[in-house]
Structure 1
Amino acid sequence: MFRYLHRPLMAQIHQAIAPAGLIIYETFITENRQFGRPNRDAFLLQENELNMLLQGWHCLHYFEGIKRNPDRAIAQIISQKPYV
């Protein structure tokens, strides 16, 4: 999932991923307002929110901050769903 945030879908995303399956997710954080859009709270993650949304999963990669070319503020995660 890239550059999309609709929090009500998170429960369905959790269910859709098979045990031991991976999620790769990247979207914008509140700091992105300095670069333009998206800039509404509904479309921006709060600090550490993406990590918390996947709490209990095995985190393989996490980044939260500013990237250049193009300038953007993002959070990205690769996590593995636990075995049942």
Structure 2
Amino acid sequence: MDASPWVRSCLEGLLAGKQPKQGARALDLACGSGRHALYLASLGYSVHAVDVKTPETEWPAGVTFEVMDLEQADWPLAGQQYDVIVVTNYLHRPHFKNLLANLESEQAVLVYETFMDGNAQFGSPRSPEFLLEPGELLSCMSSLNILRFEQGLRSIPSPAMIQRAMGITGTWSEIQSGSITLTQRD
């Protein structure tokens, strides 16, 4: 399975055809099959992929996979620092602030995409525990500078109600890309 079009768009806009800085670290949180870990590695990142289950994926050099319960009482990634964090189709509110603490201090990027209220009409997830409220992702990422935000109906690859955002720890002028914009779908 290919990387999410949202993730691809955010990272391609961010890099604008350049390689990430030497030694740049990326985290694919709740990586599932590892599609984003593989994509991040193809861009030149050193990738840490974590999930509660081991996928049947052949990991290339540059990707380290680790089985990890992300919903335990203590944040298992405490003290780890990353230049890029990608999260898709996963939500565990109690550790969101801990996740933000894993971003490197300057020019680190969080790319997040998951389901929101109203998704039950299209399938899983249906529980409010796993669905963002309108605008909730913006609130959770309020300590970052938001470069892109969308919420509402997604039609590709399948219909779903989603929220997605891209935020950075640095300022807008530190990121060189003309393709990054703040948008919202109602």
2:117 is aligned with 1:11: no
Give the structure with higher Rg (CA).
2
Task: Give the Å deviation of 1:56.
Answer: 3.1
Higher strand share: 1
| SS state at 1:55 partner | coil
TM-score (norm 1): 0.92
Higher helix share: 1
Q: Which runs of 4+ in 1 moved over 2 A?
A: none
Within 5 Å, give how 1:3-82 maps onto structure 2.
3-19=89-105, 20-69=107-156, 70-82=158-170
Compare relative contact order (CA 8 Å, sep 6+) and give the higher one, 1 or 2: 1
CA contact (8 A) 1:56 1:82 kept: no
* Partner Cα separation in structure 2 for residue 35 and residue 77 of structure 1: 21
TM-superposition CA deviations, 1:25-73 (whole Å, max 9, x none): 0000011011111000110000100000011311110000101131111
Structure 1 residues without counterparts, runs of 5 or longer? none
Query: How well do the aligned residues superpose, as a CA RMSD in angstroms?
Result: 1.2
Structure 2 residues without counterparts, runs of 5 or longer? 1-86, 172-186
Number of corresponding residues: 83
The one-letter code of the counterpart of 1:44 is: L
* Partner Cα separation in structure 2 for residue 11 and residue 57 of structure 1: 11
Percentage identity across aligned positions? Answer: 27
Task: Give the Å deviation of 1:82.
Answer: 4.1
Q: Match of 2:25? A: none
